[in-house]
Amino acid sequence: MSSTYFNDIWHQSQHECELLSTIDYERQHQDVETTVATMNAAVGSVAADADAKALLQSSLYEFYLRYICLSNRLEDVYDNMIQPQKRQLVRKLLDACLGRVVELKHDLVNIDLMEFSYNDEVVERLRLTPMETELRIPRYFLRERQQELEFRKKTMHEILTKLGWLEEHELEETVTTEIEAIRMLQMHERARQGRLRAHFMKEIRILKEKGKSEERTEKERSDSGLLAAMKIQKMWRGHTARRITRRRKMEEMILIGMLPPPPAVVKERAEKLEKLQHNEKRYQAQALYGKEFEERQSALKEEIRAKHGASMKEDIADEIRAWVKDCYDKTGKLPDFPSEDQGGSLHIFSRPGTESEHSRSSARSSKESRKTKDKSKSPARSGDLNVNENQDEEVSFQPAPSVCLPDIRAEIDLFNDTWRDKDETGVLSQAAYEDMIYSDKYQEVELEFRRAVDDVMRQEIELLQTAVGKKVKKSSKKTRRSGKKSKKKKEKDLTPDRTTESLYEELVTNGIIRKYPELRLKQFLGDKALTARNGTNPSPGDIRQILTEYCILPLGSDAIHNCTPLIRSILLAGPKGSGKKALLHAICTEVGAVLFDLTPANIVGKYPGKSGLIMLIHLVLKVSRLLQPAVIFMGDAERPFMKKIPKTDRTDPKRLKKDLPKLIKNIAPEDRVVFIGTSNLPWEADQKLLQSVYNRFIYIPRPDYGAMSHAWKTLLHDYSGGISNLDTSAMAKISDGYTIGSIDACLKEVMTCKRKLQLRTQPLTNAELINVLCSRDPVYREEEEAFESWWSKTPLGRRRQRFLELEEERLLEEQAQAAKQGNA
Report pLDDT for 237: 93
User: Helices marked H in 535-640 — which ranges?
Assistant: 540-547, 553-556, 558-563, 580-591, 609-626
Element (H, E) at 310: helix 265-331
Report pLDDT for 393: 45
CA distance 350 to 563: 26
Radius of gyration of the chain (CA): 35
Report pLDDT for 167: 59
- Could you write out the three-class secondary structure of 478-502? CCCCCCCCCCCCCCCCCCCCCCHHH
3-class secondary-structure state, position 348 = helix
pTM: 0.80
Given CATH 3.60.40.10, say whether it is the number of domain 500-701.
no
Report pLDDT for 488: 53
Q: What's 667's DSSP letter?
A: S
Our CA dihedral for 386, 392, 395, 401, rounded to 10 degrees, sits at: -30
Report pLDDT for 724: 67
Report pLDDT for 456: 84
Report pLDDT for 532: 80
CA distance 159 to 508: 8
Report pLDDT for 47: 53
Report pLDDT for 380: 47
Residues of the chain with pLDDT under 70: 1-2, 30-50, 166-174, 211-222, 259-268, 350-397, 426, 469-491, 721-724, 824
**Domain 500-701 and domain 706-783 have a common topology:** no
Look at strands 696-699 and 513-514 and give their pairing: unpaired
How does the average pLDDT of the chain come out, rounded?
81
Q: Give the residue from 698, 97, 49, 98 showing the smallest Cα distance to 398.
A: 49
Q: What's 522's DSSP letter?
A: G
Report pLDDT for 824: 66
Report pLDDT for 98: 93
Q: What architecture (CATH level 2) is domain 706-783?
A: Orthogonal Bundle (1.10)
Domain boundary assignment for the chain: 3-134, 245-346+430-468, 500-701, 706-783
| pLDDT tens per residue, range 499-512 | 888 899 889 988 89
Query: Could you give the angle at the alpha carbon of 552 between the alpha carbons of 603 and 153, nearest 5°?
Result: 55
Is there a contact between 351 and 340 (Cβ–Cβ < 8 Å)? no
Report pLDDT for 397: 66
* Direct distance between the N- and C-terminal alpha carbons of the chain, in angstroms, rounded to an integer: 74
Those residues whose C-beta lies under 8 Å from the C-beta of residue 669, and which sit 6 or more positions away, are 382, 383, 384, 484, 486, 566
